[in-house]
Amino acid sequence: MSKVIKIKKGKDIQLVGVAQKTTSARTVSSSFAIKPTDFKNLVPKMVVKAGEEVKAGDVLFHDKTNPDVKFTAPVSGEVAEVVRGERRAIQEVRILADSDIKYKSFEVPSALNAENVKALLLDSGLWAFMVQRPFGSIADPSVAPKAIHVSCFDSAPLGVDYNYTLANEGDAFAKGLEALKALTEGTVHLNVHEKANNASLFTHASGVQINSFSGSHPSGLVGVQIHHIDPINKGDVVWTINPQHVVFIGRLLQTGKLNLSQQVAVAGSDVKNPQYIETIVGVNVEAITTDNVTNDNARYISGNVLTGSNVGSKGYLGYFDHMMSIIPEGNEYEFMGWLFPSYPRPTISNSLPISKFLKKSFVVNTNPHGEERAFVMTGEYEKVLPMDVMPVQLLKSILAQDLEAMENLGIYEVIEEDLALCEFVCTSKIDVQKILSDGLDLMAEEG
């Protein structure tokens, strides 16, 4: 391993309720859903109708603008309902699962090359896990990427430990990497943390470039890693994929079946017994949290507390997520709370000395601890963004809808999650990720 890339800026937010390294094999849930809203700018076109029977791997819907990109059932069963929202946009495709999963079988090519791997991934629906930079949308299969990056550690609060969850997936992971190598003529980067990623499946991977990082969150974000290894310039396209999803690809190549079972961390201060649960992509939240949540007034976040989505206790786990963060809602008044905080809360500000220097984990809630204001403080975002990008100036260029400035200031290098910590630390409580998301949409549309 060559030199370690040190990430000096950022902050690890220590929260109560880290998932213990135990896995309970919960009975398979009966309800699963794939949510088109999990994918950026996707307009889905249904292929199946409610009431039809599907096998795991059968196509549910495809991308309207690019019909090759298909989305398949994670389990076998009956398509129970297609939930639509405003203007009949499809929100969820729900499946009532069989107790024994029947798999569609895919033909696995004996020698891997870019074309046959691409075709297999598109047919099986695994392509949807491949995320493209810029913009963070599903990768365009017709474009050749400069590189493929896999971030092998999750530095976000309560993050998943891939050393643990993928400990027994070494063969599948290696097989998946084979597929990635076949997909690109560029480099496949495996980005590991110098301390956290000691499992042999990461350290002994072959034929890929292993980049070692140190430092706190957001060092685990693939966008930050790309910026330090080989930054994205105008016109570059880079693909990123999560190690769990590399394992899915590996399993498909090994068995010809779409096996989307994974370990999901159920974590947070409102979880009685925070640990990992063996389940499948798109699982119903109720199934993995019943009898394990101590608070009626809790927020159920699919993903981590900085970037996840509020799915509610009856919702479904997001397509890309392998963790549920369950924390108390903060819908309570706090008397003079801005002056005398009544409980410790995570902060980067020295003006809250008790919270700042307390060496313990926090019980955190969803109260923003203040109202939204115009930009006032400066130099805050820069403390938690280890990239040579000027976050405030970029956000202001987005607010001004100045496309040229957005491009010049590096909008191609970031997606929402990269600026999530900026949003966390913001004194003025500005919705940074929302602004960036609007900017990315505008750029994708116009650019």
Partner 1 sequence: MKFLRDILDKVKPNFEKDGKLHFLHSTFDAIETFMFVPNHTTKRGAHIRDGIDLKRTMFIVIIALVPCLLFGMWNVGALHYAAQNIDSTLLENMLYGAMKVVPIIVVSYLTGLGIEFAFCQVNGHPVNEGFLVSGMLIPLIVPADIPLWMVIVATAFAVIIGKEVFGGTGMNILNPALTARVFLYIAYPVEMAGEIWVSGIKEGLVDAASGATALGVLGGKDLEAASNYSVNVMDAFMGFIPGSIGETSVLMCLIGAAILIVTGIGSWRIMLATVIGALGMGLILNAVGGNPYYDLPAYQHLLIGGFAFGAVFMATDPVSAAHTTTGKWIYGILIGVLTVLIRVFNPAYPEGIMFAILFMNVMAPLVDNYVVKANIKRRLNRVKA
Considering only residues 246 to 305 of the shown chain, the ones binding partner 1 according to CB under 8 A are 299, 301, 305
388 binds partner 1, rule: CB under 8 A: yes
Angle (CA) 214-219-223 rounded to 5° is 135
Q: Which of residues 96-125 bind partner 1 (CB under 8 A)?
A: none
37 binds partner 1, rule: CB under 8 A: no
223 binds partner 1, rule: CB under 8 A: no
Give 204's DSSP letter.
T
Angle (CA) 313-315-316 rounded to 5° is 125
400 binds partner 1, rule: CB under 8 A: no
Nearer to partner 1, 149 or 299 (CB): 299
- CB-count burial class (<10 Å; 0-12, 13-18, 19+) for 196: buried
- Which of 109, 170, 341, 447 contacts partner 1 by CB under 8 A? 341
- Which of 231, 256, 312, 447 contacts partner 1 by CB under 8 A? 231
Q: Which of residues 423-442 bind partner 1 (CB under 8 A)?
A: 423-429, 431-434
Q: Pattern of binders to partner 1 over 301-340, x per CB under 8 A?
A: x---xxxx-x--------------x-x-xxxxxxxxxxx-
Give φ, ψ of 173 to 5 degrees.
-65, -45
Q: Which of residues 124-163 bind partner 1 (CB under 8 A)?
A: 157
Nearer to partner 1, 172 or 285 (CB): 285
170 binds partner 1, rule: CB under 8 A: no
Tally of CB atoms within 10 A around 255:
14
The neighbouring-strand residues paired with 362 are 15
Considering only the stretches 74-82, 85-93, 254-262, 343-351, report the one whose residues sit in contact with partner 1 under the rule CB under 8 A: 343-351
Identify the H or E element spanning 240.
Answer: strand 238-240
378 binds partner 1, rule: CB under 8 A: yes
364 binds partner 1, rule: CB under 8 A: yes
Q: Cβ(68)–Cβ(59) under 8 Å?
A: no
Nearer to partner 1, 22 or 428 (CB): 428
Provide, rounded to whole angstroms, the least separation between the CB of residue 81 and partner 1. 26
- CB-count burial class (<10 Å; 0-12, 13-18, 19+) for 229: middle
Measure the CA dihedral 318/320/325/329, to 10°: -50
Nearer to partner 1, 61 or 316 (CB): 316
Task: Please choose, from the candidates 411, 298, 426, the residue with its C-alpha nearest in 3D space to the C-alpha of residue 365.
Answer: 298
